[in-house]
Chains A and B, each alone.
Chain A
Amino acid sequence: MLAVPLSLVATELTDDEVRLQHDVRSFCDQELTPQSFTPGLGMMVGLSKAFSLKLAERGWIGMALPVAYGGSDASAVERFVVVEELLRRGAPLDQHWTADRQSGPVINRFGTDLQKERFLPGICRGELCFCIGMSEPDSGSDLASVKTRATKVDGGWRLTGTKIWTSNAMNADYTIALCRSDEAENHHQGLSQLIVDLHADGVSISPIPYIDGSADFAEVVFDGVFVADDLLLGARGDGWHQVTSELSFERAGPERWISPFLLVEAFLREHAASLGREAQSFLGRTLARWWALRQLSLSVARMIDDGLAPGVESAMGKDLGTEFEQSIVADLQRLVELEPSLADQSAFSHHLAQATLVAPGWAIRGGTNEILRGIIAKGLR
């Protein structure tokens, strides 16, 4: 037990949670056949509306949202169980990922009854696709410096500015844009969040080719887009508080340590047996840390369910988890003499090529590890 206010309590799945895990497993065995999809590494790796609709039918989208709006008031651990199983299979989750993980919960927390009625049922049915609206050309880690401006007009707001590096914007119906609504001395004040219909006049979305050649990234430009008053999320000027709470606890989820799972599995299938002691040593170190990081992640989810605020522990989970993910890719490059290619039939070669390209992003999205370490250091004092 640590004297600094940091001690995660060991936890494990209850019988009910194990039953849920088995249900999700059978569902995935049935729906995610090798012919039906191309597995990807981690989150934001593929979109299948049909798959999302089926998941929603089982009640596994918007789980944390209230029953009244189509959710199931499920716990953070239950959501952990579902997400873990889907991610480790590389399932196509883009249709609902952001809405399920961030937009839905933030609307539920800060939104009006009207907003909840309007958006949450569609999210829970897997029909509504959201994207994040935070980063801008000049505002990445320093998010409070956003320049997208909401000007008050009769009945609503005029929104002007540019959001950038937004995953999945081309497929999304809405974004929740962080914008400056008021001038303030402290730049954490005067920010607001608006729910913006991406099909509205004045919105233009252009793809930004991603490093692996995919069309996942986009730039979203708002040119005097009218956003009605009833789409202001939460209180005017409270955007910073809302956005930081949106980011804080979800950081240590399975998506932060599970990304290279299929790569390691393919390594085991294709190469490990012939490599002897070096491969064993890699597997031993990797599995020990993987197991422990999962325990940490699960423990954080349990803390959330117990009403605690594991902000520092979450940040640690993400920092440790993403560094671990990257180290796996580097270790495998050292172990296997191979020129990986996305064109190869071999799952290992394909995944290694993919991981080589996208691994740097793992420690950036959702808050760079450097920013997270600042948060952790502050929490330790």
Chain B
Amino acid sequence: MTDPLLIETADRVLSSVATFEAIEAAEAARWSPLIWDAVAEIGLPWISVPEASGGVGGTIADAIDVLVQAGRHAAPIPLAETGLLGGWLLTAGGIDVGDGPLSVVPGHLDDDLRLEGGRLFGTAHRVPWASSVERVAALLDGRIVVFSPAHGIITQVSNVAGEPRDTISFDDGQIEASVIAPEGVDAQALRLRGALSRAALMAGALGAMVDLTVRYTAERQQFGKPVGSFQAVQTLLVRVAEEAVLVDLAVQVAAREAERGGGHFEIASAKLLANEAARLATRAAHQAHGAMGATREYPLHLLSRRLWAWRAEYGDAFWPVHLGAAVLDRGPDELYRVIAEGSASGITL
């Protein structure tokens, strides 16, 4: 169940700190202490992390609600990495989450980061905010490994939204902890959690994109009337809203099922739909905004660039094929149950 007070609080705090100027400044500086501190002060990054591990408790669905708000406000902070992903990994390893931001090695095709004799070697790619966090969690060869990026060499890389996604290389690097990962904590589980976190952020960004597009097409006048009064422009606006509604609902159901301990089908579907929306809705929103939407002065890019970036994180091309293979495996007799019941139909991903 959603907690309206939590959503309202997250919305209020993010509204006050994640302003257009603050987000732009964070992109230039690659970190925003202002936004992070405000959010950390009220414990938002540690929602869904048990109190015993240093978190603030709460459900996965609560964490997802907060991520939706973070997406709405384009908040440039490692919220998912600290709670839903890193907090989860550390908790599974019996390691305290501490009180600073965490990052997580998402697992890239070109990664060769590995443990040899309890020391780190090799490279991990696309590590969010690696230059700004003190601790990074990774799944390496069936172990949960925690290390400080300070012991490696960081190459600064950003995604298309200008969010840090750094490369870290180690040559005999020191680690903080290494624990055998319990059953169920593996690359597939991380990929699913990562996908859920990105789908939630994207649902929020899509919602904000609807608001922005409604407002702009009502205010912008051409031919003596608001551009939103033209049927062709209305079609664009409706496309954005429809995709936003569909992704929002899919994320809600996926969070509910994840909270119950499963939900692989729902999570995969939510991310797949969010990825499609990042193409369809973003194109429509930009078209409705005309040239204004392509400038850095107008806030549409804060949302559209994030949708494009998050689309690519934790799987895009991967999900249709992976999901489709599972559908094929389940066979024609079970096809309707998959549509109607999702994971409960017994489909396994």
Contact = CB atoms under 8 A, between A and B. Distances in A.
Q: Do A and B come from one complex?
A: yes
A292 B323 contact: no
B50 interface: no
Given A3-B207, A268-B332, A285 B245 contact: no
Contacts of B266: 291
A18 B207 CA distance: 32
Contacts of B252: 9-10
Interface stretch (A107-115, A229-237, A369-377): A369-377
Instruction: Bin the interface of chain B by size.
Output: 35 or more
B339 A285 contact: no
Contact of B238 (A295, A296, A319): A319
A325 interface: no
Given A1-B248, A2-B248, A287-B269, A316 B323 contact: no
A373 B272 contact: no
Nearest to A270: B332
Nearest to A373: B238
A334 interface: no
Interface string A85-126: 000100000000000000000000000000000000000000
Nearest to B338: A287
A1 B321 contact: no
Nearest to A2: B207
B242 interface: yes
A295 B253 contact: yes
B246 interface: yes
Nearest to B214: A380
A264 interface: yes
A288 B210 contact: no
A299 B238 contact: no
A313 B238 CA distance: 11
B237 interface: yes
B339 A287 contact: yes
A279 interface: yes
Contacts of A149: none
A160 to B, nearest CB: 34
Nearest to A272: B328
A311 to B, nearest CB: 14
B47 interface: no
B332 A288 contact: no
B324 A279 contact: yes
A4 B248 contact: no
Contacts of B265: 291
A84 B331 contact: no
A316 B242 contact: yes
B211 A277 contact: no
Nearest to A275: B328
A264 B238 CA distance: 28
B214 A8 contact: no
A143 interface: no
A265 B335 CA distance: 7
B64 to A, nearest CB: 11
A282 interface: yes
A296 B244 CA distance: 12
Main secondary structure, interface of A, reads helix
B248 A280 contact: no
Contacts of B65: 1
Contact of B235 (A268, A313, A316, A373): A373
Interface residues of A, number: 50
B7 interface: yes
A296 B252 CA distance: 11
Contacts of A299: 249
Contact of A283 (B235, B242, B245, B324): B324
B241 A376 contact: yes
Interface string B264-281: 011011101100100000
B234 A373 contact: yes
Contact of B321 (A273, A280, A290, A374): A280
A261 interface: yes
B336 A261 contact: yes
A266 B241 CA distance: 33
Interface in A290-320: 290-296, 299, 313, 316, 319-320
B108 interface: no
B244 A2 contact: yes
Given A8-B245, A295-B250, A319-B242, A284 B327 contact: yes
B319 interface: yes
Contacts of A4: 207, 210-211, 214, 241
A283 B331 CA distance: 11
9 closest cross-chain pairs (CB), A and B? A280-B324, A284-B320, A284-B324, A284-B323, A288-B269, A283-B324, A377-B234, A10-B252, A268-B332
Interface of A: 1-4, 6-10, 12, 84, 88, 261, 264-266, 268-269, 272-273, 277, 279-285, 287-296, 299, 313, 316, 319-320, 370, 373-374, 376-377, 380-381
24 contacts: A1-B7, A7-B248, A8-B245, A261-B336, A264-B335, A277-B321, A280-B325, A281-B324, A284-B272, A284-B320, A284-B321, A284-B323, A284-B327, A285-B320, A287-B339, A288-B269, A290-B339, A291-B266, A295-B250, A313-B245, A319-B242, A374-B231, A376-B238, A377-B228
Given A280-B324, A280-B325, A284-B323, 10 more contacts: A4-B210, A6-B245, A10-B253, A12-B253, A88-B336, A283-B323, A287-B323, A288-B319, A320-B242, A373-B234
Interface of B: 2, 7, 65, 68, 207-208, 210-211, 214, 218, 228, 231, 234-235, 237-238, 241-242, 244-246, 248-250, 252-253, 256, 265-266, 268-270, 272-273, 276, 319-325, 327-328, 331-332, 335-336, 338-340, 342
